[in-house]
Amino acid sequence: MGLVADRLHNGSKLRVLTIVDIFTRECFAAEIGVRLNSGNFVKGLTRITKGRGLPKRIHCDNGSEFSWRVADL
């Protein structure tokens, strides 16, 4: 999982959450939004696991977007 941020020509922010299988390089999800929160991450992962089952391992860069409290949901 990773989060990419960029700016559009008008200066507004754009964020993209990507969820990729690091072995096959298949992209399972690309959530796009101006502001992504913990709920977006949970919804994306839940949708993926319903169709594919639970992964054995999740790898992320431990950036600030991955440090939430359960109360944020």
Question: Given this model, what pLDDT does residue 69 score?
Answer: 59
> How far is Cα 11 from Cα 43, in angstroms, rounded to an integer?
28
Number of domains within the chain:
1
Report the amino acid identity of residue 73. Answer: L
Residue 9, in any domain of the structure = yes
Whether 7 is in a domain gets the answer yes
User: Is residue 73 one of the residues assigned to a domain?
Assistant: no
Residue of higher predicted confidence among 60 and 34:
34
For residues 20-36, give the mean pLDDT. 87
In this model, does residue 71 exceed pLDDT 70? Answer: no
Pull the structure tokens for residue 27.
Answer: 């992209």
pTM metric for this prediction: 0.67
